[in-house]
Amino acid sequence: MRWGILGAAKFAREHMGPAIHAASGAELYALATSDPAKAAGFTAFAPQLKVYPDYDALLADPAIDAVYVPLPNHLHVAWSLKALAAGKHVLCEKPVAMQASDFDGLEAAAKDAGKLCAEAFMIVHHPQIIRARDLVQGGAIGTLTHVDTVFSYNNAGDVTNIRNKPETGGGGLRDIGVYTFGAARFVTGAEPVSVPYAHIRYENGVDTFAQVAANFPAFTYCAVVSIRMQPRQEITFHGDKGFLRLTCPYNANLHDVAQLVLENDGQRVVTERWPAANHYVLQVENFVTSATTGAAYPCPLAFSRGTQVMMDMVFDAGGPPHD
């Protein structure tokens, strides 16, 4: 499957571009950017890469089968729709949309085009979170009572970063909060019924800290998300007979090694690690398989819509933006 990338984003250059290049069944074929200097970062590892001066020119190339969209958040829906209209499969960076209602158009366009459109939510492709899902849903910790998670980093000094700009859909919740919501939903298979509390701090119109409490049908949930704190990430699933903890659930083997710790009421501790798994490569390979064979994709738009519904609930609970 030949891939094109819309825009020479830093994340695409450092992670998804190399992942497409390395993935089985995928070929990094083209890049659209008007900046030759940015293109050089991609041709350094993919010298055969075709470089187009604009996004429309790349979409017009009939040789391209799939498009990866790493553009700023507010452009995701529009360019995903354009790529689908051009007959391409689409893997769009998270969050694929800015509100849950945006999914209606994406799902309809993907159906009309007969193409796969999905959010690049790489964590669900990693064996650690699949293992966590199997253990939790299989009763390894008894009846699940509570989930708590934290994800933070500090980009206060990077004032030009799109994550610090409200006009591009920036903010911590859309950037990394999406993982804290989606991970809980994926592992438990449950959906939130209410968000009774969300304390959100804003700077210049962008959310930089959020403390969230949610109710699921059979358990409670809390999360801390910030782009103004020392880097930290963890998620714990706590049951009446044990708990399961992922110590690096969101940037596996980048922030730290992917590790799962399971402790039950007999004080038996089981630690599993995945030092070599690359969820970006696994994501591309699963996408290729689903797009070419029709096999179910691990993160369909319906799942991503559910995460966006929770995101919308959190913003509603937090009230209007205020500095």
Would you please indicate which residues are annotated as catalytic (active-site) residues? 94
**Other Cβ atoms within 10 Å of 274 Cβ, number:** 18
Burial (CB count within 10 angstroms: exposed 0-12, middle 13-18, buried 19+), residue 24 = exposed
Q: How far does Cα 160 stand from its chain's mean position?
A: 22
Among 123, 129, 190, 173, CA closest to 317: 173
Distance (Å, rounded) from C-alpha 31 to C-alpha 138? 43
Question: Quick one: tokens of 17?
Answer: 């571009």
Q: Which residues pair with 30 in a beta bridge?
A: 4, 50
> What does the DSSP assignment read for 142-193?
SSEEEEEEEEEEE-TT-TTSGGG-GGGT-SHIIIIIHHHHHHHHHHH----S
